[in-house]
Amino acid sequence: MDELVLPFVEVVSNSGIYAPFYFIVLHFIRQFVFVPVSVVCIAGGVMFGAIYGTIYSVIGITVVSTVFYVFVKRAPVFFKKITRMKEKWMRKRMPMSVGQIAILRLVPFVHFHFISLCLIEVSKDFQDYLKSSIISNLPLALMYSFFGTAIKGFDPVLIVLLLCGLVVLFYLLRRREWIMKWEDFFQPVR
């Protein structure tokens, strides 16, 4: 994976005034070369510093989320197919809140677009999706830009404690209402 990322990082860091633009493009390209979002956010923190790395990462991630939204809405067959896969994997559960989705974005082994799909399902329209997307992308960009380089040096015990903390936050930020359809509650008699 480093062989794929390092040439892109080299181009971005040597591009001068155009470096932020190329970095945002790198966020878009990373999904096609199967590079995790966290790796690109860490590179942004190293190249631009924590604050500008966070800003550019939020812009890049939001652009990727917006392109995914437009693609999914323009291809309803694809949307139905991935929704069925999600329902098969998650079964019938209460929809997640934006806070839970933001925490899931912090977990590096949960697929980025799967989480974007969950965000589409809880959003009313494009503006709501865009606002929720920015809110859920901000912690991801902040954490990996500020603490990304330090994460590699953490003890395994500290990593387990951090993941346990994320699980507790995931539970605390859940939606507390559940709307059930009549057909789901009362199964038809056969």
Domain coordinates of the chain in residue numbers? 2-179
Angstrom distance (rounded) from CA 124 to CA 70: 14
Angstrom distance (rounded) from CA 27 to CA 140: 13
- Residue 126 binned pLDDT confidence (cut-offs 50, 70, 90): very high
Angstrom distance (rounded) from CA 48 to CA 23: 10
26 burial via Cβ count (<10 Å: 0-12, 13-18, 19+): buried
Confidence (pLDDT) at 185: 64
| Percent of residues, the chain, with pLDDT higher than 70 | 81
> Residue 141 corresponds to which tokens in the numbers above?
């960009």
- Residue 180 binned pLDDT confidence (cut-offs 50, 70, 90): low
Confidence (pLDDT) at 108: 77
